[in-house]
Amino acid sequence: MSAAAATADAAEAAPKKGKKKLIILIAAMVALLGMGGGGAVVYMKKKAAAEAAAAEEDEDGEGADTGHKAVAKESSKKDEKRTPPVFVPLEPFVVNLADREADRFAQVGITLEVADATVGDEIKAYMPAIRNNVLLLLAHKTSQELMEPEGKEELAKEVRREALRPMGIDLPDEEEVSASKKKKKKKPKAEDEDVKELPIKSVQFSSFIIQ
């Protein structure tokens, strides 16, 4: 082979080797890009999952806060409703009873449970009339009536009724209620009112002595 031919073969082989190297480099770069793209996809998926978990935790936290706020609000409403009772003590009553066989008298301490402090102050203006009604009521009772538990319960109802009368509120007595039921007539309006809406809610006995 001549020198010119050898040079020509070498020149022809050089481009072929260069093309092969270029192809190998391009393939390597494509492979690297593929791996990098796959890693990016995995990374993006992990990031999205982490963000979703964080958002869910935030929602749970807000829900818990909302629940705590609702419970606290409800508790505050209950605290507002739990107002302490207001009592108005009356001076003890000493009265002769209606016994015919012997002279008997009773010493009774009465306390009125009222709707609020305003009613308590209002009752003071009616106190003379209230005491008069209660004294007349006690004077018609016998020692036997007042010694029985049922008698004391009945007396508490009657005292409440007599204490409300000076304030312009008339509650029917037991006989009127029974007669109304028999005749099937509508009960008086005052009886239909809720006990809590009346100025005097109940009557308590602080002392009860019969001699």
pLDDT at 41: 47
Residue carrying structure tokens 């705590």 = 68
Q: How confident is the model at residue 114 (pLDDT cuts 50, 70, 90)?
A: very high
Digit-coded pLDDT (tens) for 62-79: 444 555 555 555 655 555
Q: How confident is the model at residue 172 (pLDDT cuts 50, 70, 90)?
A: confident
**Where are the chain's structural domains?**
1-82, 86-210
Mean per-residue pLDDT, 169-190 = 57
Q: How many CB atoms lie within 10 A of CB 134?
A: 21
pLDDT at 83: 81
pLDDT at 96: 96
Question: CA end-to-end span of the chain, whole Å?
Answer: 157
What CA–CA distance (Å, rounded) separates 118 from 115?
8
Say which range, 67-81, 99-113, 173-187, has the weakest mean pLDDT. Answer: 173-187
Given the DSSP bridges, would you call strands 200-210 and 93-96 parallel, antiparallel or unpaired?
unpaired
Mean per-residue pLDDT, 94-122 = 94
pLDDT at 54: 66
**Residue 104, φ and ψ in degrees, nearest 5:** -125, 150
User: What residues pair up with 147 in beta bridges, in sequence order?
Assistant: none
pTM (2 decimals)? 0.56
For the chain, how are helix, strand and coil distributed in percent, rounded to 5? 70, 15, 20
What CA–CA distance (Å, rounded) separates 69 from 57?
18
pLDDT at 118: 93
The answer on pLDDT for 131 being more than 90 is yes
Higher per-residue pLDDT: 203 or 41: 203
Mean per-residue pLDDT, 99-126 = 94
CA distances from 109 to 90, 116, 133, 208 (A): 7, 21, 15, 6
pLDDT at 78: 56
Domain 86-210, CATH: 3.30.479.30
DSSP 21: H
184: left (phi over 0), alpha (psi -120 to 50) or beta: left
Tokens of 67: 């629940």
Identify the CA nearest to 161 among candidates 198, 125, 115, 207. Answer: 198
CA distances from 96 to 136, 204, 209 (A): 10, 21, 12
